[in-house]
Amino acid sequence: MADESPIIQVRGLVNRFGEQTVHEGLDLDVRRGEILGVVGGSGTGKSVLMRSILGLREPNEGEISVLGVNARSGDPAERQHIERNTGVLFQDGALFSSLTVGENVQVPLKEHHPELPDSWRYELALLKVKLAGLPADAINKLPSQLSGGMRKRAGLARALALDPPLLFLDEPTAGLDPIGAAAFDRLIKTLQEALGLTVFLITHDLDTLYAICDRVAVLADQRVITIAPLHEVERFDHPWVQEYFHGPRARAARDGQQAPGALNTQTAV
């Protein structure tokens, strides 16, 4: 059950690229302990929003608070506080191709905990590799030696390296077959429940939305037009929402979650 205190708070966000305005006065609250699915059509700025929250892009206007810290303050200590307490899985995994999985996972440990002995960092990396559902021998493999699904799990292991309370996932099931995508959804939900994570999840995968998301935020018209549990979002009167959540793929995803034995982890909030 997610509580009501926002772990992320965005107010009046404006993002422009030249003459193109992506966000205009966008507001968003992410509750502590929830899995928030973020959806929207192409060009609505889902990844731009995530990068703004993480400090990877400087917005034109607006206020952003992450973990109680002003994400736009420019204070190195506050920047480091956010970095140490957030994990990010980018869509392609963003692994360093010349490093093994274990070395990739150790990158944030070396950056933020240089005092740790090499043997401790290796053991911590091995723990995260196993936590992400990879076999122990994957730690010594290069990304090129892994399947697409395994690379995503390796990226997840690195995102979890610092035991962050806040996890960002950008299209985590993109490119996976339905069985692999469902397994990844189950992994995310299990980790969220076991570790008490808050998850900001960008996705277009309707199965993921229906399987594991507590609430869904819809980006359209340069802002968040609705944010609510799925059964409320489905009723929201907007052309994109109605087309997206009432087409045949949405009905199949919804019916799949209602089938006996389906993963049904919707949380009432």
Q: Categorize the per-residue pLDDT at 267 as very low, low, confident or very high, splitting at 50, 70 and 90.
A: very low
State yes or no: pLDDT of 202 exceeds 60.
yes
State yes or no: pLDDT of 186 exceeds 90.
yes
Sheet holding 215-220, edge to edge: 86-89, 166-170, 198-202, 35-40, 215-220, 223-228
Nearest to 85 by CA among 53, 121, 59: 53
Q: Categorize the per-residue pLDDT at 7 as very low, low, confident or very high, splitting at 50, 70 and 90.
A: very high
Q: Categorize the per-residue pLDDT at 268 as very low, low, confident or very high, splitting at 50, 70 and 90.
A: very low
Say how far apart CA 72 and CA 74 lie, in whole Å. Answer: 6
User: DSSP secondary-structure letter at 262?
Assistant: -
**Would you state the pLDDT for residue 73?**
85
The 10s digit of each residue's pLDDT in 94-141 is 899 999 999 999 999 999 999 999 999 999 999 999 999 999 999 999
The 10s digit of each residue's pLDDT in 230-248 is 999 999 999 999 999 987 7
The 10s digit of each residue's pLDDT in 80-94 is 899 999 999 987 768
55: left (phi over 0), alpha (psi -120 to 50) or beta: left
- Is the pLDDT higher at 30 or at 261? 30
**Would you state the pLDDT for residue 155?**
95
Over range 53-65, report the average pLDDT.
95
Answer yes or no: are the C-beta atoms of 122 and 132 closer than 8 Å.
no
**Would you state the pLDDT for residue 140?**
96
SS3 of residue 16 by DSSP? strand
Q: Is the dihedral of CA 211, 216, 219, 220 positive or negative?
A: positive
The 10s digit of each residue's pLDDT in 131-168 is 999 999 999 999 999 998 899 999 999 999 999 999 99
Angle separating helix axes 148-159 and 118-131, nearest 10 degrees: 130
Least confident of 30-39, 98-107, 172-181, 183-192: 172-181
Say how far apart CA 151 and CA 146 lie, in whole Å. Answer: 6
Over range 47-67, report the average pLDDT.
95
Determine the straight-line distance between the first and last CA of the chain, rounded to whole angstroms: 7
**Would you state the pLDDT for residue 247?**
78
**3.40.50.300, 3.40.50.150, 3.40.50.920, 3.40.605.10: which CATH number matches 37-45+76-258?**
3.40.50.300
Domain boundaries, the chain: 37-45+76-258
**Would you state the pLDDT for residue 262?**
58
Answer yes or no: are the C-beta atoms of 39 and 203 closer than 8 Å.
yes
State yes or no: pLDDT of 8 exceeds 70.
yes
Nearest to 171 by CA among 56, 256, 46, 258: 46
Question: Mean pLDDT, the chain, as a whole number?
Answer: 91
Count other Cβ atoms within 10 Å, centred on residue 235.
12
State yes or no: pLDDT of 263 exceeds 90.
no
Residue 11 tokens read as: 């107010």
Over range 43-48, report the average pLDDT.
96
Q: Is the pTM of this model over 0.75?
A: yes
**Would you state the pLDDT for residue 210?**
95
